[in-house]
Amino acid sequence: AYWGAQTQRSIENFPFPATERMPIAIIHALAIVKQAAARVNRQHGLAGEIADAIETAAAEVVAGKFDDQFPLVIWQTGSGTQSNMNVNE
């Protein structure tokens, strides 16, 4: 698994069936936001190699390369922090 501790905690705290997973289109949209943020932050001092790594990883997520790495369900806290952390991880 590519996910880290935050995602694993959410899996354990929200034990719902896979049929209630977060729609993958939302994960892809979050990845697009991460790409855009990397581009803007590069213009404001983020190291190019870090921005490149974020953009590359986000593009791979958008392309569906890691769809199986987003196991979280739609039932989360109101802010969706768990899915945001899953995308970050």
Query: Burial of 7 by CB count in 10 Å (0-12 exposed, 13-18 middle, 19+ buried)?
Result: buried
Distance CA 71, CA 89 (A): 12
* Whole-structure pTM value: 0.85
pLDDT top residue among 40 and 1: 40
pLDDT at 17 over 90: no
pLDDT in tens, 25-50: 999 999 999 999 999 999 999 999 99
CATH architecture of 5-88: Orthogonal Bundle (1.10)
Domains in the chain: boundaries: 5-88
Which pLDDT score, from 0 to 100, does residue 46 have?
97
pLDDT in tens, 38-86: 999 999 999 999 999 999 999 999 999 999 999 898 888 777 888 888 8
